Amino acid sequence: AQSVTQLGSHVSVSEGALVLLRCNYSSSVPPYLFWYVQYPNQGLQLLLKYTTGATLVKGINGFEAEFKKSETSFHLTKPSAHMSDAAEYFCAVSDRSNDYTLSFGAGTTVTVRA
Amino acid sequence: KAGVTQTPRYLIKTRGQQVTLSCSPISGHRSVSWYQQTPGQGLQFLFEYFSETQRNKGNFPGRFSGRQFSNSRSEMNVSTLELGDSALYLCASSLGQDKGYTFGSGTRLTVV
Protein backbone atom coordinates (compact mmCIF):
# COMPACT_ATOMS: atom_id res chain seq x y z
CA ALA A 1 0.00 0.00 0.00
CA GLN A 2 1.01 3.54 -0.63
CA SER A 3 2.35 5.77 2.13
CA VAL A 4 1.99 9.53 1.89
CA THR A 5 3.86 11.89 4.19
CA GLN A 6 3.10 15.56 4.49
CA LEU A 7 5.79 17.38 6.41
CA GLY A 8 4.32 19.84 8.87
CA SER A 9 0.75 19.66 10.09
CA HIS A 10 0.54 23.44 10.33
CA VAL A 11 2.12 26.15 8.20
CA SER A 12 1.78 29.86 8.82
CA VAL A 13 2.70 32.37 6.13
CA SER A 14 2.37 36.10 5.68
CA GLU A 15 0.11 37.44 2.99
CA GLY A 16 2.18 37.78 -0.18
CA ALA A 17 4.80 35.27 0.94
CA LEU A 18 5.65 31.95 -0.69
CA VAL A 19 3.55 28.95 0.25
CA LEU A 20 5.42 25.63 0.23
CA LEU A 21 3.74 22.41 1.30
CA ARG A 22 5.77 19.23 1.22
CA CYS A 23 4.60 15.79 0.18
CA ASN A 24 6.58 12.58 -0.12
CA TYR A 25 5.27 9.18 -1.05
CA SER A 26 6.43 5.62 -1.10
CA SER A 27 5.77 3.65 -4.23
CA SER A 28 7.39 0.96 -6.28
CA VAL A 29 5.78 2.24 -9.46
CA PRO A 30 5.11 5.81 -10.58
CA PRO A 31 1.77 6.78 -9.11
CA TYR A 32 -0.83 9.34 -9.99
CA LEU A 33 -0.44 12.32 -7.65
CA PHE A 34 -3.00 14.87 -6.49
CA TRP A 35 -3.36 17.89 -4.24
CA TYR A 36 -6.71 18.70 -2.72
CA VAL A 37 -7.86 21.64 -0.60
CA GLN A 38 -10.55 21.54 2.05
CA TYR A 39 -12.30 24.56 3.51
CA PRO A 40 -14.18 24.26 6.82
CA ASN A 41 -17.32 22.13 6.61
CA GLN A 42 -16.70 21.39 2.95
CA GLY A 43 -15.58 18.48 0.84
CA LEU A 44 -12.25 18.30 -0.97
CA GLN A 45 -11.55 20.34 -4.06
CA LEU A 46 -8.98 19.19 -6.59
CA LEU A 47 -6.15 21.73 -6.95
CA LEU A 48 -4.01 19.89 -9.46
CA LYS A 49 -2.89 16.44 -10.57
CA TYR A 50 0.05 14.67 -12.14
CA THR A 51 -0.53 11.56 -14.22
CA THR A 52 1.97 11.56 -17.06
CA GLY A 53 3.95 14.04 -19.12
CA ALA A 54 5.30 17.36 -17.86
CA THR A 55 6.49 17.06 -14.28
CA LEU A 56 5.65 20.68 -13.40
CA VAL A 57 1.90 20.89 -13.06
CA LYS A 58 -0.13 24.07 -12.77
CA GLY A 59 -3.43 24.08 -10.96
CA ILE A 60 -6.17 26.43 -9.89
CA ASN A 61 -5.76 29.53 -7.74
CA GLY A 62 -2.11 30.00 -8.74
CA PHE A 63 -0.84 26.74 -7.24
CA GLU A 64 1.67 24.48 -8.91
CA ALA A 65 3.53 21.30 -8.01
CA GLU A 66 6.50 19.43 -9.36
CA PHE A 67 6.81 15.66 -9.54
CA LYS A 68 10.35 14.58 -8.69
CA LYS A 69 10.67 10.86 -9.19
CA SER A 70 14.19 10.63 -7.77
CA GLU A 71 13.03 12.28 -4.56
CA THR A 72 9.56 10.64 -4.54
CA SER A 73 8.16 14.09 -3.87
CA PHE A 74 5.29 16.23 -5.09
CA HIS A 75 5.60 19.54 -3.25
CA LEU A 76 2.94 22.21 -3.68
CA THR A 77 3.85 25.88 -4.06
CA LYS A 78 2.24 29.25 -4.58
CA PRO A 79 4.44 32.31 -5.07
CA SER A 80 2.24 34.77 -3.20
CA ALA A 81 -0.20 33.76 -0.46
CA HIS A 82 -3.64 35.27 -0.27
CA MET A 83 -5.93 35.34 2.74
CA SER A 84 -8.32 33.06 0.87
CA ASP A 85 -5.63 30.34 0.78
CA ALA A 86 -6.22 29.60 4.48
CA ALA A 87 -7.47 26.01 4.44
CA GLU A 88 -6.33 22.42 4.89
CA TYR A 89 -4.36 20.83 2.08
CA PHE A 90 -4.09 17.13 1.33
CA CYS A 91 -1.64 15.31 -0.85
CA ALA A 92 -3.00 12.08 -2.34
CA VAL A 93 -1.48 9.21 -4.25
CA SER A 94 -3.29 6.83 -6.52
CA ASP A 95 -2.01 3.33 -6.02
CA ARG A 96 -1.71 1.59 -9.39
CA SER A 97 -0.98 -1.69 -7.64
CA ASN A 98 -4.23 -1.49 -5.68
CA ASP A 99 -6.83 -0.60 -8.28
CA TYR A 100 -5.89 3.07 -8.07
CA THR A 101 -7.20 3.56 -4.54
CA LEU A 102 -6.46 7.05 -3.26
CA SER A 103 -4.21 7.23 -0.20
CA PHE A 104 -4.12 10.59 1.57
CA GLY A 105 -1.54 12.33 3.64
CA ALA A 106 -2.48 13.61 7.09
CA GLY A 107 -3.04 17.12 5.79
CA THR A 108 -1.41 20.51 6.33
CA THR A 109 -3.39 23.42 7.72
CA VAL A 110 -2.34 26.75 6.26
CA THR A 111 -2.96 30.02 8.05
CA VAL A 112 -2.26 33.34 6.37
CA ARG A 113 -1.21 36.35 8.44
CA ALA A 114 -2.22 39.81 7.32
CA LYS B 1 -23.01 20.98 -14.38
CA ALA B 2 -24.15 19.63 -11.02
CA GLY B 3 -21.46 18.41 -8.65
CA VAL B 4 -21.47 15.43 -6.34
CA THR B 5 -24.50 15.61 -4.07
CA GLN B 6 -24.56 13.99 -0.65
CA THR B 7 -27.59 13.74 1.56
CA PRO B 8 -28.22 14.42 4.30
CA ARG B 9 -25.61 17.00 5.30
CA TYR B 10 -25.96 16.32 8.99
CA LEU B 11 -27.17 13.33 11.00
CA ILE B 12 -27.40 12.55 14.68
CA LYS B 13 -27.93 8.92 15.60
CA THR B 14 -27.89 6.87 18.77
CA ARG B 15 -25.48 4.03 19.47
CA GLY B 16 -26.79 0.77 18.12
CA GLN B 17 -28.90 2.33 15.37
CA GLN B 18 -28.16 2.04 11.69
CA VAL B 19 -27.80 4.79 9.11
CA THR B 20 -27.89 5.12 5.34
CA LEU B 21 -26.08 7.87 3.49
CA SER B 22 -26.71 8.79 -0.12
CA CYS B 23 -24.46 10.05 -2.90
CA SER B 24 -25.38 11.22 -6.40
CA PRO B 25 -22.30 11.44 -8.62
CA ILE B 26 -21.66 13.84 -11.45
CA SER B 27 -23.60 12.83 -14.52
CA GLY B 28 -21.55 10.38 -16.57
CA HIS B 29 -19.26 9.37 -13.72
CA ARG B 30 -19.50 5.63 -13.13
CA SER B 31 -16.97 5.35 -10.34
CA VAL B 32 -18.05 6.28 -6.82
CA SER B 33 -15.81 6.07 -3.76
CA TRP B 34 -16.50 6.64 -0.08
CA TYR B 35 -14.13 7.98 2.54
CA GLN B 36 -14.34 8.49 6.27
CA GLN B 37 -12.67 11.58 7.70
CA THR B 38 -11.92 11.94 11.42
CA PRO B 39 -9.49 14.20 13.29
CA GLY B 40 -7.58 11.23 14.62
CA GLN B 41 -7.38 8.95 11.59
CA GLY B 42 -7.61 11.45 8.77
CA LEU B 43 -9.06 10.37 5.44
CA GLN B 44 -9.59 6.64 5.15
CA PHE B 45 -10.87 4.75 2.14
CA LEU B 46 -14.06 2.78 2.67
CA PHE B 47 -14.97 1.32 -0.73
CA GLU B 48 -15.29 2.02 -4.41
CA TYR B 49 -18.05 1.06 -6.80
CA PHE B 50 -17.97 0.95 -10.57
CA SER B 51 -20.94 -0.03 -12.68
CA GLU B 52 -22.82 -1.42 -9.65
CA THR B 53 -19.89 -3.63 -8.60
CA GLN B 54 -17.69 -3.13 -5.58
CA ARG B 55 -14.25 -2.79 -7.09
CA ASN B 56 -12.24 -2.19 -3.94
CA LYS B 57 -12.73 -2.18 -0.20
CA GLY B 58 -10.83 -0.56 2.63
CA ASN B 59 -10.04 -1.96 6.03
CA PHE B 60 -13.35 -1.39 7.80
CA PRO B 61 -15.56 -3.86 9.68
CA GLY B 62 -18.48 -5.55 8.00
CA ARG B 63 -20.86 -3.08 9.67
CA PHE B 64 -19.92 -0.73 6.84
CA SER B 65 -21.49 -1.64 3.53
CA GLY B 66 -22.48 0.04 0.33
CA ARG B 67 -24.09 -0.37 -3.01
CA GLN B 68 -24.42 1.35 -6.33
CA PHE B 69 -27.50 1.57 -8.48
CA SER B 70 -27.82 1.43 -12.25
CA ASN B 71 -27.92 5.24 -12.44
CA SER B 72 -24.55 5.32 -10.57
CA ARG B 73 -26.08 6.73 -7.41
CA SER B 74 -24.58 5.11 -4.36
CA GLU B 75 -25.55 4.49 -0.78
CA MET B 76 -23.52 3.45 2.19
CA ASN B 77 -24.93 1.86 5.29
CA VAL B 78 -23.51 1.58 8.76
CA SER B 79 -25.20 -0.84 11.13
CA THR B 80 -24.96 -1.05 14.91
CA LEU B 81 -23.47 2.41 15.20
CA GLU B 82 -20.64 3.03 17.63
CA LEU B 83 -19.45 6.33 19.08
CA GLY B 84 -16.28 5.98 17.02
CA ASP B 85 -18.28 6.08 13.81
CA SER B 86 -18.81 9.81 14.31
CA ALA B 87 -17.11 11.35 11.31
CA LEU B 88 -17.46 13.26 8.08
CA TYR B 89 -18.31 10.78 5.33
CA LEU B 90 -17.22 11.91 1.89
CA CYS B 91 -18.31 10.57 -1.43
CA ALA B 92 -16.30 11.12 -4.60
CA SER B 93 -16.98 10.35 -8.24
CA SER B 94 -14.64 10.02 -11.17
CA LEU B 95 -14.51 9.52 -14.93
CA GLY B 96 -11.31 7.51 -14.63
CA GLN B 97 -8.35 6.91 -12.36
CA ASP B 98 -6.18 9.51 -14.06
CA LYS B 99 -8.88 12.17 -13.96
CA GLY B 100 -8.95 12.72 -10.23
CA TYR B 101 -11.98 12.51 -8.02
CA THR B 102 -14.65 15.15 -7.43
CA PHE B 103 -15.84 15.17 -3.85
CA GLY B 104 -19.17 16.03 -2.37
CA SER B 105 -19.58 18.26 0.68
CA GLY B 106 -19.97 15.25 2.91
CA THR B 107 -22.38 13.98 5.52
CA ARG B 108 -21.48 14.82 9.11
CA LEU B 109 -22.55 11.86 11.25
CA THR B 110 -22.65 12.24 15.01
CA VAL B 111 -23.31 9.16 17.14
CA VAL B 112 -24.46 9.83 20.70
pLDDT value, residue B95: 87
Mean of pLDDT values over A54-69: 94
Q: What is the CA radius of gyration of chain A?
A: 14
pLDDT category, B1, cuts 50, 70, 90? low
Which residues of B lie inside 8 Å of A (Cβ-Cβ)?
4, 6, 33, 35, 42-43, 45, 48, 55-56, 58, 90, 92, 97-98, 100-106, 108
The region that residue A69 occupies, defined by phi over 0 for left and psi between -120 and 50 for alpha, beta otherwise, is alpha
In this structure, the dihedral spanned by the alpha carbons of residues B46, B50, B53 and B58, taken in order and rounded to 10 degrees, is -20
Which residues of B are less than 8 Å from A9 in CB distance? none
The amino acid that residue B76 corresponds to is M
The region that residue B48 occupies, defined by phi over 0 for left and psi between -120 and 50 for alpha, beta otherwise, is beta
How many CB pairs below 8 Å do chains A and B form together?
Answer: 52
| d(CA A92, nearest CA chain B) in Å | 10
Which residues of B are less than 8 Å from A45 in CB distance? 103
- Residues B71-84 pLDDT 10s: 999 999 999 999 99
Nearest to A23 by CA among A77, A98, A86: A77
Which residues of A are less than 8 Å from B48 in CB distance? 99, 101
Residue B102 to residue A103: CA distance in whole angstroms:
15
Name the residue among B98, B100, B104 with its Cβ closest to that of A43: B104
pLDDT category, B2, cuts 50, 70, 90? confident
Mean pLDDT, chain A, rounded, equals 92
Nearest to A4 by CA among A76, A84, A77, A83: A76
Residue B82 to residue B89: CA distance in whole angstroms:
15
